[in-house]
Amino acid sequence: MRSWKVWLLIGALLIIMPDLMAQCAMCRGTVESTVSNGRSGVASNLNLGILYLFVAPYLIVATIGYLWYRNSKQEHGRRLEIAGRVKRAMSQM
pLDDT, residue 36, reads 78
6 inside domain: no
Average pLDDT, the chain: 82
Dump pLDDT digits (tens) for 44-76.
Answer: 777 788 788 888 899 999 999 999 999 999 999
pLDDT, residue 21, reads 60
pTM of the complete model beyond 0.75? no
Domain ranges, residue 81? 18-92
Dump pLDDT digits (tens) for 78-92.
Answer: 999 999 999 988 888
pLDDT at 39 exceeding the cut of 70 = yes
- Number of structural domains in the chain: 1
5 inside domain: no
36 inside domain: yes
**C-alpha 65 chain-centroid distance:** 10
3 inside domain: no
**C-alpha 63 chain-centroid distance:** 8
**SS3 call for 13:** helix
